[in-house]
Amino acid sequence: MSHLPHPPPPRARRRLGGAIRLTIGVAVSAVFVLYAVRGLELDKFSQHVADANYIWLVPGVAVYFLGVWARTWRWHTMLSHLVDVPMRRLFRFVCIGYMGNNVYPARAGEVLRSYVLKRETGVRMSASLATVVLERLFDGLTMLAFVFVALPFVRFESDALEKYRPLIVVCTVLFVGALATFLFLAGRPDRLRRLAGPFVRLGAAVLGLSGRSDASDGTHADRLWGVVDRFTDGLESLSGRREVLVLFATSIVIWLCETMKYWFVMHAFPQMEVSFITLMLMNGIVNLATTIPAGPGYVGTFDAPGIAVLTAAGVAQPVATAYTVVLHVALWFPITLLGAWYLWRSHVSLRQANAEMAGDEALDAGPPSAGPLDYDGADAKSAPLA
C-alpha cells in the first residue's frame, strides 16, 4: 500500500521559500547592475570615487536623519488611535525597520519593526502592518508627485529615461488605485468585511487542507476574521480629510529631506552640477524602481535608474556612477548600523522573531512573502555584518 509523502515541516518550507526569494532577488539585482555598468570606464569611475570630498556626507547624513525623525512622527500619528508610543522609543523601531529593509530582501524590515512594536507595546501585528502599508502608499504617491512636478523642468540630453516610462505608468495606476481603495474602506468595516468574505473562506479552506492546528484559537475563519478586523483598525488613520492631508504633507517633508541629502552628496563631486529639481526627479524614479523585488539593500534597482537620470541630464557616466554608488552607501550604512544597534539593545534576534511569527502570530504577520526573516542564521548581534 503506497503512502503519500509527508509535506516538509513548516520551518523547512519557510527556509526553502526564503532561499528561492533570495535567489530571484539577487538575480534581478545582477541584471540591473550589469545594465548600469555597461560601457563604464572603470579607471575614470575609480578616480572620481577617490577624489570625492567626503566631508559633504556629514550634513547629508544629518538632514537625512531629520527625515527619519519626520517619518517617525508620521508613524506616531498613524498609530495614535491604537497606542501612544513616545517618539524616542518609536524612532528606535523605525531605525530597526530600515535596518531590516537594507539587510534582507522583500522589505523584511516592515515586518520586523511591527514585531518589535508588538513585543514592546502589545499592538497586534496585523493592525500595525496596516499603518505600514499606508506609509508605503503615501511614499509612493509622493515619489510620483516628485516625478510629475520635476519632469517639465529638467532638460534631457538623451532618451535614457524612456525605458522607465512603463514603471512610472504602472506605479501611477497601482498607487492611485490603492489610495482610492483604502479611502473607500477606511472607517467602514462593513465594506471591508463584505469584500474580504470570499478570501477569508478560501483562506480557511486552504489552512484546513494544510493540516494547521487551530485548537487553541478557534476556527481558521475566526482567526482570519480577527486579522481583517485588526487591519481595519489600522486604517483608521485615513478616517478624515485632515488626516490624509497631514500624512501627505509629512511625506513631502520626509522625501524633501532625503533629496537634500542627494544635494549635499552632489557637492562631494566637483565635476557634477545639476539642479535640485533634477535630484527630486532622480529620487522619485529610483525609489519607484526599488519597489521591484531585488536583492538586499536595493542593489541595482537603486543604482541603474539613478545613473540613467543623471546621464540623461548631461552628467558623464563615470561621474554619475561614482555619485550614485557613494550616495547609495551613504544612504545605506548609517541607518543600517544604528538600526542594528537598536535591535541588539532590544534583545530581539531574527531567529526569535521568526519563531514567534511561525506560531500564533503567523496570521498577523501577513502572507509568506514577509518571510525574509526566515534567514535565521543571524541573530541581532550579527545583523550589522549580514
pLDDT score of 206 more than 60 = no
- Quick check: is 155 in a domain? yes
Summarised one tens digit per residue, pLDDT across range 308-365 is 999 999 999 999 999 999 999 999 999 999 999 998 888 876 666 555 544 434 444 4
Summarised one tens digit per residue, pLDDT across range 34-44 is 999 999 999 99
- Quick check: is 221 in a domain? no
- Quick check: is 211 in a domain? no
3-state helix, strand, coil in the chain (%, to 5): 75, 0, 25
Q: What is the 3-state secondary structure (H, E, C) of 52-90?
A: CCHHHHHHHHHHHHHHHHHHHHHHHHHHCCCCCCCHHHH
Q: Quote the Cα angle for 236-289-40, to 5°.
A: 160
Residue 323's nearest CA partner among 48, 79, 133, 130 is: 48
pLDDT score of 173 more than 80 = yes
Summarised one tens digit per residue, pLDDT across range 304-324 is 999 999 999 999 999 999 999
Higher-pLDDT residue of 349 and 262 is: 262
- Quick check: is 343 in a domain? yes
CA distances from 367 to 18, 74, 177, 327 (A): 13, 25, 21, 33
Instruction: Report the C-alpha gap between 354 and 112 in whole angstroms.
Output: 9
Instruction: Report the C-alpha gap between 170 and 150 in whole angstroms.
Output: 18
- Quick check: is 3 in a domain? no
Instruction: Give the model's pLDDT for residue 217.
Output: 41
Distance from the first to the final alpha carbon of the chain: 48
Residue showing cell 519597489: 291
Mean pLDDT, all residues of the chain: 79
- Quick check: is 7 in a domain? no
> Is there a contact between 111 and 350 (Cβ–Cβ < 8 Å)?
no
- Quick check: is 225 in a domain? no
Which of 184-188, 239-243, 350-354 is the least confident region? 350-354
Instruction: Give the model's pLDDT for residue 155.
Output: 85
Instruction: Give the model's pLDDT for residue 71.
Output: 97
Confidence of residue 368 (pLDDT cuts 50, 70, 90): very low
As for how many domains the chain has, the answer is 1
If you average pLDDT over each of 90-94, 122-126, 359-363, which comes out highest? 90-94
Determine the structural domain holding residue 79 and report its residue range: 31-166+231-385
Cell representation of residue 347: 534583545
Confidence of residue 221 (pLDDT cuts 50, 70, 90): low
Instruction: Give the model's pLDDT for residue 269.
Output: 97
Q: What is the pLDDT averaged over residues 106-127? A: 84
pLDDT score of 190 more than 80 = no
Instruction: Give the model's pLDDT for residue 17.
Output: 64
Summarised one tens digit per residue, pLDDT across range 39-76 is 999 999 999 999 999 999 999 999 999 999 999 999 99
Q: What percent of the chain has pLDDT over 70?
A: 69
Cell representation of residue 211: 493540516
If you average pLDDT over each of 80-89, 177-186, 318-327, 343-352, which comes out highest? 318-327
pLDDT score of 207 more than 70 = no
- Burial (CB < 10 A; 0-12, 13-18, 19+), residue 122, is exposed
Cell representation of residue 317: 557616466
| Torsion angles phi and psi, residue 68, rounded to 5 | -65, -40
- Quick check: is 121 in a domain? yes
- The number of beta carbons lying within 10 Å of the beta carbon of residue 363 is 20
